[in-house]
Structure 1
Amino acid sequence: MLVSGRIIVGPDGKPREYELKDPEKLPENVRRFLEFHIPRWEFDPPLLDNKPVALDNLMDIHLKAVREGEGMRFQLAGASFRPSAAKTPYEIRPRRMKPPAFPTLPDSVAGDVGAVVYVVLKIGPHGKVLEALDEQVNLHFVPDAQVADA
């Protein structure tokens, strides 16, 4: 499940406030899971001109359901953050997550677009990928905005 929203990270690297997109459409247990975990996240303190600032960022949270006994539980599969403005001199980085390497884009477009790609894999009995298909691609444009008030 993909949950989108925005988060303001304070100068101390802790979430100051967050907002989920269409929270009323989320199952109650998903909202409770996120309400418990998001305030506990930690980020490297955001800096602008070597001074701590509060930053307003868009976020995508990827949750997956994991079988547990007779039921299911949610697990954070990943989260991505991007400035709410294009061509900003900052970004936030999760303190405990190491992001994978991604292909780079030319500087003329690198800060303006992003994407989430869902890939469906057919795995063989020996654990090797037999087939890979892109199921869905969500492209997004990052509009100009400003650093959040500190």
Structure 2
Amino acid sequence: MLRKWSGVLVLMLWTSIALAGVTTADVRRQVEASMLVNGTIDIDAQGQVTDYQLAEQASLPPALLAVVDRHVRGWRFDPMRVDGNAVRARSPMHVRLVMKRDGDRFLFRIAGATFGTTYGAGAVPTVNGTLSPPRYPEYAYTSNVGGVVYLVVKVGRDGSVEDAIAEQVNLRSLGSEHEMARFREILTDPAISVSRKWKFNFPTRGEDADKPFVLVRVAVEYLARDMPSERAGRWLPYVPGPRQPVPWRNWDAAGQQPDAITVGEAYPDNPKGPKLIGNIDG
């Protein structure tokens, strides 16, 4: 069942991904199918998963759901603590699923996940106004280049963006390695430029309220002609870019994947939710 469904998916991707003069071999090496799913996860006081829910469960075939279930129920977390005591917790989560063709096989993996918590008013930075989109670069538009730029923005105490970096750029267009590096650069520059005009509300309480700055993650999407927008539960072509270090981080973000967030929303860079122990695809 999974093999038959995967073959249909790959045929769909071949007709929907934007090509830039690449060969068939190039496509087979690079194309992946990606889906972001949302849900919640329940964790006991020992850090073990007791239950979880996926909002987009109907978009996944049973065989794939079985693989997800096996992985998720095997996750282990640092126990959540209140006043020093380990407690049960329920956390929202975003999970990125990836399917890739490897010869006559189809490989599935959980590429990343973001876990949050329920924040009270004023505890984390929030958007002040709207996140205005960037100008679509003319070269990218005429070349039918699209993708998503995953920004980390440095927000000062007055709510203005002091700096920004593209932690990762995932493309929806294919080319040579040199071409795709250029595509990422072309999409990154206007995304960083527009981010400097964004405004945020700085935390007024909690551990971040006295800090000189806070970090926020935002995904900026570029849609070339006939490209559907990314939304939870939708499979899309996906060429993940290399991950870049964020110079202002003072914590280990190795377990946090840049692209496991929803386009157009703002997320605290250092969420106070559950911390996964070990490999997410283990």
TM-score by length of 2: 0.37
Deviation at 1:138, TM superposition (A): 3.9
The answer to whether structure 1 residue 2 and structure 2 residue 36 are counterparts is yes
Alpha-carbon distance in structure 2 between the residues aligned to 1:32 and 1:108: 47
Residues 75 and 106 of structure 1, relative CA distance in 2, 3 Å threshold:
same
When the two chains are superposed, the root-mean-square deviation of aligned CA atoms in Å is 3.3
Letter of the 1:103 counterpart: V
- Counterpart for residue 97 of structure 2: 63
Letter of the 1:87 counterpart: G
- Counterpart for residue 22 of structure 1: 56
SS of corresponding position for 1:2: strand
Give the number of equivalent residue pairs: 123
Letter of the 2:65 counterpart: R
Deviation at 1:4, TM superposition (A): 1.1
Larger radius of gyration: 2
Q: Indicate the larger mover: 128-137 or 26-35.
A: 128-137
Letter of the 2:182 counterpart: L
Q: Is the Cα–Cα contact under 8 Å of residues 124 and 130 in structure 1 kept in the other structure?
A: no
Q: Indicate the larger mover: 29-38 or 65-74.
A: 65-74
Deviation at 1:125, TM superposition (A): 3.5
Q: Percent identity?
A: 24
Residues 46 and 60 of structure 1, relative CA distance in 2, 3 Å threshold:
same
Q: Deviations over 1:26-76 (max 9, x none)?
A: 222321111111110011111111110111111111111122340212111
Letter of the 2:36 counterpart: L
Larger helix proportion, structure 1 or 2? 2
Q: Is the Cα–Cα contact under 8 Å of residues 13 and 46 in structure 1 kept in the other structure?
A: yes
- Counterpart for residue 87 of structure 1: 120
Determine which of 127, 139, 144 is the counterpart of 2:265.
139
Residues 108 and 20 of structure 1, relative CA distance in 2, 3 Å threshold:
farther
Deviation at 1:5, TM superposition (A): 0.6
Which blocks of at least 5 consecutive residues in structure 2 are unaligned? 1-34, 124-150, 160-167, 188-220, 223-229, 231-262, 268-282
Residues 125 and 39 of structure 1, relative CA distance in 2, 3 Å threshold:
closer
Letter of the 1:15 counterpart: V
- Counterpart for residue 129 of structure 1: 181
Alpha-carbon distance in structure 1 between the residues aligned to 2:74 and 2:87: 19
